[in-house]
Amino acid sequence: MALLQGCSQIPDESPTSPQRGGMFTVQLETESLATAKNSVANGNSDNTAIRQVIGYRFSEGILREIVPGIESDAEGTYTFPLKELSGDLRFVANDETGIFSQVEPESTSLEAFLLHSTTVDRMAGDRFLMTGSTEIKTQNTTVPSIRMRRSVARIDLFNPDRGVTVHHITIRGIADKGYVNEQPNSETLEPTDKSDFTIDYTDAPLGNGRETLLYLCEQGNEGLSAEAIVEFEGGLHRMVATFPAQILRNRIYTLQVHGKGADVSLSIVAEGWETNHTTEALPDSKGIIDIDSSILPGNVRVNASLDTLFISHRGGEFKLALKAEAEAEVSIEGDARGVTATVEARTKTLEPIAFVAVSCAHRMPHEKQSYLHLNIHRDQLYSGRIVLVFEPNPVLLSGAIKLDENGICDFGRYIDGELGRITLPEGKTARLEFDPDEDPWMTLSQDGNELRILGGWKPNDPKADGRIQEGRLILSDSDESYSESYSIRRRNQGLPVVKIGETWWCKYNLRGHVKSFEDQISIQADPAINEELADYLNDCNEEELLRLMGDQYQGGNQQGLPLRHDGTAFYHEGMLGSAQNFGTLDPTYMAPDGYQLPDYDDYAFFSGSNNYNIGGVGSRTYQNGAGDEISVRIIERDVSFLGEHYGIVSLYEFRSGTGCWILYGLGHQWNTSPGSISRMTLLLATYGNSANSWIMEGYAQNDRPNQNWLKFVNQNSTKTRVIRCIKSPVEYIYE
């Protein structure tokens, strides 16, 4: 509370002599400004906080010392240990970027100190930069209270009325720099550059609420204006308002949007002014559309204030005549896909100042509303604006279908299942169209008020050779007077399959890269398309058998591990000492597009339990765990691969109903050392269990007669696996 502590130990001097050093204590107060919700300017919610404060003591117009304030237990109370208790003390709080780092005691003048300027970003960071001052008076018996003021002004947007939504705000003429300290006569810095601030709410128009938009330096109002585009009573309205003659620090300037009855207005309110200054925006007559001189098609409409043009999603070409003050000029701002706009020759009378030729493509179903602005200038000053609103297509499209600027969606790969959903407005219909030589590989399925676009699959399609499949989505008016066509393309690819039970199984093990259809045994190159696969595998030459055996795989590595021989032993090239878990990977990650790894139930179909002996060489019948009758035929073949004896391998032919499926493979390798191959135990890549995997634990008839065990048991992830895919479930199967 006392301003002098320990001063009694300093000898008294004459009244005209400066007081010697001591502790100078002050109470720093900040004016609380309510923080707007959803602020977009800098996220600073603690707008009264002081993180640190520096005192600059001036005497006789010269900086004498720089002293950091020491915060006491009392909130807002700071003590400054001064060398002399005389002169003025200038306070700067939250100078986090070192604005005053170059000032020097006994060198910097008060005038130079006060003229320090910087950008708004440095004055409105994590904490607001604030300043204040006081005369050092030693006779005070109470702690003086100092009002700290922010060095910036704040701009808010306030929309209190229901039924009004803000789409776009632009503030023009923002000064690049301002004074840090308040000037004696509120002088403002002459800006070296000016910029505009723009925020677009088109994707989510702002309804009722308040937002902080940005912060400004103190500046004069040379061309400082605000423009709002709002939606009210079914139309877009553009309004312009000017700021007060001077933007002062520590003030909030609120853009207030009001909509009542049939009127909508924009005003700027400077909070805290004694006069409560308000500037109301008036309809802008400095730039309007001359309808009589324009050439407009039927799908274009103009609002009542003649400053906004709405173009339907159908697009087209038109010529727009603009009317404004003589000598005014027009410039085009903005960019919209498929739109070209050109300003044509203007006149210098009070007739239309310019014609703007506009050509716009029709809007795709997924495109959002977009804008072009025709800005009108006179004598290099902004005076008006015409807004061109390109309305969105009323058809809503979602999902995987993404149309390019030509209305084409090319997936560039095989894909099936739900490709997208469309929502049709009243009076619209949708259908799919295909060329005469193209299969109907897509279909539409109703789901509530949406149509699902389904990509289908054709088992063992002879055309599934990588060629492009195309279909067209046709959107039409119910009377067929207008229609839009969008192309959807995919690569038609597939693998040879058989259906056993309710599952479509691939006939062959994967080889090469799991995502490459080119590496796999194709439908067109299926060597056993007209004969039993088990018999073919038993009779074909060993080179062909090795090709059809496929590769081994480790979880996470999509590249196959081919069988090799190093002159001493067999091994799988590329095997690593660790791998990911097949059971927890996405089941489609280790399979071509449209296919996936089998899970427990898929392999359980062939087994009577989780540890089931299907017997030895020959044929027999048994029941699986679900009670389905399964027939199995087991064939052994003694083979040599790569010029070396490999040993006996088994072929397992399973039948159920009319389905027939053959299991076979090269066994597995349990570590990276050559020779670590168990050739008759097939580890089957299985999805859905982090510990267990299905295996076929096979034995040669001459080793352990009549023993081949299907088991679901624990296996580590390092061991290699055979990958036999199944077709991923698909709703639409076409012939």
Domain ranges of the chain: 7-150, 152-280, 288-390, 396-493, 501-727
In this structure, which amino acid lies at residue 539?
D
Q: Name which CATH class applies to 396-493.
A: mainly beta
Residues 246-254 have a mean pLDDT of 88
Is the separation of the CB atoms in 180 and 99 below 8 Å? yes
CA-closest candidate to residue 686, choices 719, 657, 730: 719
Residues in Cβ contact with 16 at an 8 Å cutoff, skipping those fewer than 6 apart: none
Is the separation of the CB atoms in 696 and 684 below 8 Å? yes
pLDDT at residue number 260: 61
Strand partners, 210: 158
3-state class (DSSP) for residue 121: helix
Number of H helices and E strands in the chain, helices first, is 5, 54
Out of 111-120, 268-277, 569-578, the most confident range is: 569-578
What is the rounded distance in angstroms from the CA atom of residue 212 to the CA atom of residue 208?
14
What is the rounded distance in angstroms from the CA atom of residue 599 to the CA atom of residue 728?
11
In this structure, which amino acid lies at residue 135?
E
Q: Name the CATH superfamily, with its identifier, for domain 288-390.
A: Immunoglobulins (2.60.40.10)
Q: Higher pLDDT residue, 86 or 382?
A: 86
What is the rounded distance in angstroms from the CA atom of residue 265 to the CA atom of residue 434?
53
3-state class (DSSP) for residue 549: helix
Half-sphere exposure of 724 (CA within 13 A, CB side): 25
Give CA 560 to chain center in angstroms: 35
Q: How confident is the model at residue 714 (pLDDT cuts 50, 70, 90)?
A: very high
Q: How confident is the model at residue 47 (pLDDT cuts 50, 70, 90)?
A: low
Same fold for the domain at 152-280 and the one at 288-390? yes
Q: How confident is the model at residue 454 (pLDDT cuts 50, 70, 90)?
A: very high
> pLDDT at residue 40 above 90?
no
Question: Which CATH number applies to 7-150: 2.60.40.2580, 3.30.70.20, 3.40.630.10, 2.40.50.1020?
Answer: 2.60.40.2580
3-state class (DSSP) for residue 539: helix
Q: Give the architecture-level CATH label for domain 152-280.
A: Sandwich (2.60)
Strand partners, 730: none
What is the rounded distance in angstroms from the CA atom of residue 478 to the CA atom of residue 457?
31
The sign of the CA dihedral 244, 250, 255, 256 is: negative
Cβ-count burial of 123 within 10 angstroms (0-12 exposed, 13-18 middle, 19+ buried)?
buried
What is the rounded distance in angstroms from the CA atom of residue 253 to the CA atom of residue 151?
14
Which of 338-347, 403-412, 449-458, 664-673 is the least confident region? 338-347
> pLDDT at residue 346 above 90?
no
What is the rounded distance in angstroms from the CA atom of residue 260 to the CA atom of residue 269?
18
> pLDDT at residue 351 above 70?
no
| Model pLDDT for residues 54-98, shown as the tens digit of each residue | 999 999 999 999 999 988 876 788 999 999 999 999 999 999 889
Which uninterrupted H or E stretch holds 442?
strand 442-447
Is the separation of the CB atoms in 576 and 554 below 8 Å? yes
Which of 207-211, 563-567, 661-665, 723-727 is the least confident region? 207-211
What is the rounded distance in angstroms from the CA atom of residue 268 to the CA atom of residue 256?
6
Q: How many CB atoms lie within 10 A of CB 547?
A: 14
Strand partners, 97: none
Is the separation of the CB atoms in 449 and 471 below 8 Å? no
Answer whether 0.75 is exceeded by the pTM: no
What is the rounded distance in angstroms from the CA atom of residue 709 to the CA atom of residue 615?
8
> pLDDT at residue 139 above 70?
no
The token duo for 398 is: 């979602």
